[in-house]
A and B are shown apart, each in its own frame.
Chain A
Amino acid sequence: DQQVKQNSPSLSVQEGRISILNCDYTNSMFDYFLWYKKYPAEGPTFLISISSIKDKNEDGRFTVFLNKSAKHLSLHIVPSQPGDSAVYFCAASVYGGSNYKLTFGKGTLLTVNP
């Protein structure tokens, strides 16, 4: 049973436009959400996170929105740049102190075209 779902395997956008990556979750116990970016043959790089007490968190070109009632979050990248082309993973966790672990979605491949 997949608790974190990224239903779009891929997304293609033009440079300068907005990229919107979506993520849904089923476990209502999740209270912390993260986005990671991954290039091939490299480890994931942390981008941005949000806790369940907030509905928005912004860091430069990246904004994450959380809709708890819909169990949905999204990552907005504005403006998109060719260097943003990568696989983006949504991840979620239940607060568990030092034992906390992440549950990942399957990822969305973002391609930003010049």
Chain B
Amino acid sequence: DTEVTQTPKHLVMGMTNKKSLKCEQHMGHRAMYWYKQKAKKPPELMFVYSYEKLSINESVPSRFSPECPNSSLLNLHLHALQPEDSALYLCASRTGQAYNEQFFGPGTRLTVL
């Protein structure tokens, strides 16, 4: 199994809703990432988890709350989002060793109304 899966594929939510994005990998990777990508822009790093501990938070607003329940699973909890948060949210993982590529999931297309 060499893939990163993400659910849901699409999500539409109102500004008062609470929702969660899920990411899963079974490659034994120990580093997991959340990115945000707007149209015609490169992926923008949000969070890095290393060995299930949050190691990088790129000054992301608190309405985004990451969680890493175990080494295979990464969640992104969403609350009180703004329409400008609409984007493709990508999860990625890598082995945690030096000089290894990140494997990306297919993303969740989020629309905030």
Contact = CB atoms under 8 A, between A and B. Distances in A.
B45 A101 contact: yes
A1 interface: no
Interface stretch (A12-20, A40-48, A61-69, A76-84): A40-48
Given A49-B101, A105-B42, A106-B42, A98 B107 contact: no
B59 to A, nearest CB: 13
Contact of A101 (B40, B56, B103): B56
A98 B55 contact: yes
A21 to B, nearest CB: 14
A97 B56 CA distance: 13
B7 interface: no
Interface residues of A, number: 23
B98 interface: yes
Contacts of B103: 46
A48 to B, nearest CB: 9
A32 B51 CA distance: 22
A46 B101 contact: yes
Contact of B90 (A43, A49, A101): A43
B104 A95 contact: no
A43 B104 contact: yes
Contact of A43 (B4, B42, B96): B4
Contacts of B75: none
Interface in A6-61: 32, 34, 36, 41-46, 49, 51
Interface of B: 4, 6, 30-31, 33, 40-43, 45, 48, 50-51, 55-56, 88, 90, 92, 96, 98-99, 101-107, 109
Which are the 4 A-B pairs with shortest beta-carbon distances?
A43-B104, A104-B42, A98-B50, A46-B101
